[in-house]
Amino acid sequence: MKVYKFGGASVRSAEGIKNIVKIVSGVTEPLFIVISAMGKTTNAMEVVLEQFMKANHAASLEKLAEVESYHREIISELFEIPENGRNAVKPLFDELKKFITEGVGDDYDRWYDRLVSFGEVISTRIISAYFVECGISNEWLDMRTLLVTDSNFREANVKMNDSQIRLLKAADFSKNRIYIGQGFIGANIKGDPTTLGREGSDYSAAVVGNLLDAESVTIWKDVPGILNADPRIFENTVHIPELTYLDAVELAYSGAQIIHPKTIKPLENKQIPLYVRPFGSPKEAGSVIKSSTEKPINVPVLILRKNQVLITIRPRDFSFVLEESLSKAFVIMNKHRLKISLIQSSAISISVCVDNTRYLADAMDELGNEFKVSYNESLELLTIRGINNDIVNQTTSGREILLSQRTRRIGRFLMKELE
């Protein structure tokens, strides 16, 4: 069997969903299809949640009505008999409205997962019903009953063994050839919904691939495959047809948006190849990530990670026991879920570069109890893999560089964001 994953951009419109039908119709083997929420639904659900948490129930319901009408429009455009689509999602919106009207927003992360996870439930319900209308029989699965996670709400980790038992039972390919499940969501052992981190649907697809021993996992994307740089930021990008798992981990960790960093491990562990293929031109090969390649990457790869903050900390007591300070500082940063993208240490200070998130302020407060803390924000981190002086000049000349690191192969430059 194979796993196909379609992201939010691919299912943002009726046209995109029709294209999925075209792609899936060409496949004769067993398929597990993982799908994201439609378009920007996750962002919209975050606004629904914000209002709910502030006890602005009316504003929250108003925002939810927008989400509902967006999906209704897609349904009207898509279905021969729109009633079939509407019936598929009506109970979900009813459930959401009940949550918002009756719920009390106590624990932000828990409520996030309870509400925002509906984006994927809604999209898969619509697409599964539309498949049926197109004569593609399939079974819809609720990943909140199949992917067992820990209770680390908003960034949950999948418990592979528990999930495998459930998933193998549910996805029985002797009964159905096509299963449809949600990316991004699962539930803890008590059944409370969890999410796996923003953009986590790739990770879901990889986990499903691992648990079902897929022959391959394919992520269909609105790009021609993996490029050596983001074409929206850099000129003269080149297509990379083959990468190793190690290449892919490095790129994802440096902030390449092409795949979620957690995606590679479940695939590498079972040596399952990952294809990244263009949704708009399904005949093209795209890129493949696998254990080894005959065509090593021979161009510099550029990755720009935006919205970075540089934090520099020093022990208050002027202690030089760096190891101890290091471990204390990292425990605090880990607790507040800071994503560290670069580390530099000197005799008495540690500098780390992290993503600017909503947890940052609390982390800084706690670090401030133990350390002297200073920071700079509005920075971007450029990673160049396969570094040479020309490419460094092209990408950094005239820029204010706050920190740089360079090895033989990789250069990293932390710069002020351009105005």
Applying CB under 6 A, which residues contact ligand ASP? 7-8, 36-37, 42, 119, 183-184, 198-201
Look at residue 16 and give the partner it binds from ligand ASP, Mg ion, none, a contact being a CB closer than 5 to 8 Å depending on partner kind. none
From 8-16, 264-272, 367-375, 395-403, give the range in contact with Mg ion by CB under 5 A: 8-16
Tell me the closest approach of the beta carbon of residue 240 to Mg ion, in angstroms.
21
In this structure, is the dihedral angle defined by the CA atoms of residues 326, 329, 334 and 335, taken in order, positive or negative?
A: positive
Contact status: 183 vs Mg ion (CB under 5 A): no
CB nearer to ligand ASP: pick between 7 and 224: 7
CB nearer to Mg ion: pick between 8 and 411: 8
CB neighbours of residue 102 within 10 Å: 8
415: β partners: 380, 401
Pick the binder of Mg ion from 2, 7, 171, 385 (CB under 5 A). Answer: 7
Tell me the closest approach of the beta carbon of residue 112 to Mg ion, in angstroms.
17
Quick check: helix, strand or coil at residue 170? helix
**What is the H or E stretch that residue 92 is in?**
helix 82-102
Helix, strand, coil: what percent of the chain each, to 5? 40, 25, 35
Look at residue 300 and give the partner it binds from ligand ASP, Mg ion, none, a contact being a CB closer than 5 to 8 Å depending on partner kind. none
Tell me the closest approach of the beta carbon of residue 8 to Mg ion, in angstroms.
4
7: amino acid identity, one letter: G
Pick the binder of Mg ion from 3, 8, 205, 245 (CB under 5 A). Answer: 8
Tell me the closest approach of the beta carbon of residue 323 to ligand ASP, in angstroms.
37
CB nearer to ligand ASP: pick between 201 and 325: 201
Tell me the closest approach of the beta carbon of residue 264 to ligand ASP, in angstroms.
15
Q: Which residue is nearest to Mg ion (CB)?
A: 7
Residue 202 Cα distances to 4, 52, 312, angstroms: 10, 28, 33
DSSP state for residue 105 in the 8-state scheme: -
Tell me the closest approach of the beta carbon of residue 201 to Mg ion, in angstroms.
6
CB nearer to ligand ASP: pick between 7 and 286: 7
Decide if 27 contacts 57 (C-beta within 8 A). no
Look at residue 119 and give the partner it binds from ligand ASP, Mg ion, none, a contact being a CB closer than 5 to 8 Å depending on partner kind. ligand ASP
d(CA 342, CA 310): 9
Place of tokens 């000049």: 393
Tell me the closest approach of the beta carbon of residue 202 to Mg ion, in angstroms.
8
DSSP state for residue 227 in the 8-state scheme: E
CB nearer to ligand ASP: pick between 40 and 72: 40
Place of tokens 């920007």: 40
Nearest of 184, 148, 181 to residue 165 by alpha carbon: 148
Site string for Mg ion, 22-61 (x = CB under 5 A): --------------x-------------------------
Decide if 276 contacts 286 (C-beta within 8 A). yes
Quick check: helix, strand or coil at residue 307? strand
d(CA 170, CA 356): 39
d(CA 203, CA 196): 8
CB nearer to Mg ion: pick between 39 and 193: 39
Look at residue 183 and give the partner it binds from Mg ion, ligand ASP, none, a contact being a CB closer than 5 to 8 Å depending on partner kind. ligand ASP
CB nearer to Mg ion: pick between 12 and 290: 12
Residue 163 Cα distances to 114, 171, 186, 225, 278, angstroms: 19, 12, 10, 30, 30
Tell me the closest approach of the beta carbon of residue 334 to ligand ASP, in angstroms.
22
Tell me the closest approach of the beta carbon of residue 169 to ligand ASP, in angstroms.
25
Residue 166 Cα distances to 5, 203, 208, angstroms: 20, 18, 11
User: Which residues form the interface with Mg ion (CB under 5 A)?
Assistant: 7-8, 36
